[in-house]
Amino acid sequence: MVSCRFQKNISGEMDMGEIEGISLGKAGLILRAPGGGGVKSGQCFSISQGSSTLAASTKTPEDTQGVFEAMQHILSCGKDKLSQDKKSVVSDGSVKNPVVGFRVTRWTPELEELERKRKELEKGPPAVDPKDLMDSKEVKELKKGMNIMAYTLDEMNLPKATKLSLVYKAKGAGRLGTLYWCDRRKKRKPPSSCGRLEVEDLSSIVIGKQTRILQTAAATMAEAEACLSLIGPSSQISIEMEEGEVSS
């Protein structure tokens, strides 16, 4: 049978570089021993290091929180972190005496690299200068509008071929610009009602007559080498470039 005694004035030391975890509340047998019955859970904390554990209490919950924040600061100076242990449980089955455990995650070059990548992802993709987007002869031609035969579904959900223009706008339309397909007479300023696909959302480009609509009767006369499909999550367009518009 394990015997626990609540004692005061016990001296000792712990290497901060070897601490494995910190718990707030009455964690473990020592703090739940009879001698600690008069101490509130919010005043208690435990620091573990291998087979050794420092279990203690302070005068107030604020002092206990102060100890925790001091430990957190010291560890962060060495790039170590305290992460809440999801396995933390209530010390005595009562919500009155909760125990919140934290484990120490030590710094490693691998974790440093993961943290750097995480921060980069949080920033989101880098901004793009519209001038860089237009630094291409082909993109400039697309900005003017290229004549296409677009294959879409009509109101009866039947495939149809329509003469349209494919237009690219770099400014004020998505981070990488937007592709529009619209009436050829309106290509200089595509209306909001025309089809569109933000280039950043483009998931695939399929060359040739590989999409289902390009294999229907509506596209029988379409030349495979002049066909392609632009596919995004919520919109797509299958087209045939008109003679003279096909880029090498």
In this prediction, residue 128 carries a pLDDT of 85
The three-point CA angle 38-42-44 to 5° equals 70
d(CA 212, CA 168): 25
pLDDT at 222 over 50: yes
User: Which one is predicted more confidently, 178 or 29?
Assistant: 178
DSSP label of 125: S
Q: Which residue type, as a one-letter code, is found at position 192?
A: S
Cβ proximity of 176 and 153 under 8 Å: no
Distance of CA 205 to the CA centre of its chain: 25
pLDDT at 24 over 50: yes
d(CA 100, CA 160): 64
Give the residue from 144, 126, 124 showing the smallest Cα distance to 134: 144
Give the residue from 245, 242, 247 showing the smallest Cα distance to 163: 242
Cβ proximity of 236 and 210 under 8 Å: no
d(CA 94, CA 25): 12
Q: What are phi and psi of 221, to 5 degrees?
A: -85, -5
pLDDT at 187 over 80: yes
In this prediction, residue 67 carries a pLDDT of 94
Distances (CA, A) of 237 to 42, 105, 161, 197, 215: 63, 50, 11, 9, 14
- Cα first-last separation, the chain: 85
Q: Report H helices in 58-193.
A: 61-77, 109-123, 130-133, 137-144
Q: What is the DSSP string of 190-238?
A: --TTSEEEEGGG--EEEESS-SGGGGSGGGTT--GGGEEEEE-SS-EEE
pTM above 0.95, yes or no: no
d(CA 58, CA 55): 11
- Judged by average pLDDT, the poorest of 50-59, 102-111, 166-175, 184-193 is 166-175
In this prediction, residue 223 carries a pLDDT of 93
Q: Is 145 left (phi over 0), alpha (psi -120 to 50) or beta?
A: left
Q: What is the mean pLDDT of residues 53-71?
A: 92
Band (pLDDT 50/70/90 cuts) for residue 175 is: confident
Distance of CA 231 to the CA centre of its chain: 23
- Judged by average pLDDT, the poorest of 34-38, 66-70, 135-139, 234-238 is 34-38
pLDDT single digits (tens) 108-131:
899 889 888 988 888 888 888 888
Beta strands 44-49 and 21-24: pairing type?
antiparallel
pLDDT single digits (tens) 190-220:
998 999 999 999 999 999 999 999 999 999 9
In this prediction, residue 86 carries a pLDDT of 66
Band (pLDDT 50/70/90 cuts) for residue 37 is: low
